[in-house]
């Protein structure tokens, strides 16, 4: 996470900036697929089924990526509906 020194105070105090600075390619894939679906809906075309799957070993930022995409959806696509399925929680449900 980037840090900066507050130059106005001229102190040694550092402050963290909460900023999502990684995962450009997965975010671009998501928004590309979102645009395809949105365009199909507005032109009354058959809507292509699109599934974007993020996978990898634990601790690589998949959950944080999803949180960022949900935030961006709120900013860019206010009328969109978001569904998040945590398959880990479904393990007991499915036997």
Rounded CA-CA distance 72/13 in Å is 31
Q: What pLDDT does 38 receive?
A: 83
Q: What pLDDT does 19 receive?
A: 63
Q: What pLDDT does 40 receive?
A: 83
Rounded CA-CA distance 35/22 in Å is 21
Rounded CA-CA distance 31/68 in Å is 12
Q: What pLDDT does 79 receive?
A: 80
Instruction: Give this prediction's pTM.
Output: 0.60
Mean pLDDT for back-to-back runs of 10 residues, the chain (95 residues)? 51 58 82 85 77 82 87 85 74 61
Q: What pLDDT does 14 receive?
A: 58
Classified as helix, coil or strand, 57 is coil
Q: What pLDDT does 11 receive?
A: 52
């Amino acid at each position: 996470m980037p840090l900066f020194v507050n130059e106005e105070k001229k102190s040694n105090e550092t402050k963290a900036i909460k900023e999502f600075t990684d995962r450009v390619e997965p975010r671009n894939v998501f928004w590309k697929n979102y645009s395809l679906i949105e365009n199909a809906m507005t032109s009354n075309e058959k809507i292509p089924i699109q599934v974007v799957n993020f996978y990898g070993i634990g601790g690589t930022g998949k959950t944080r990526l999803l949180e960022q995409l949900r935030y961006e959806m709120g900013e860019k696509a206010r009328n969109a509906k978001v569904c998040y399925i945590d398959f880990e929680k479904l393990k007991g449900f499915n036997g």
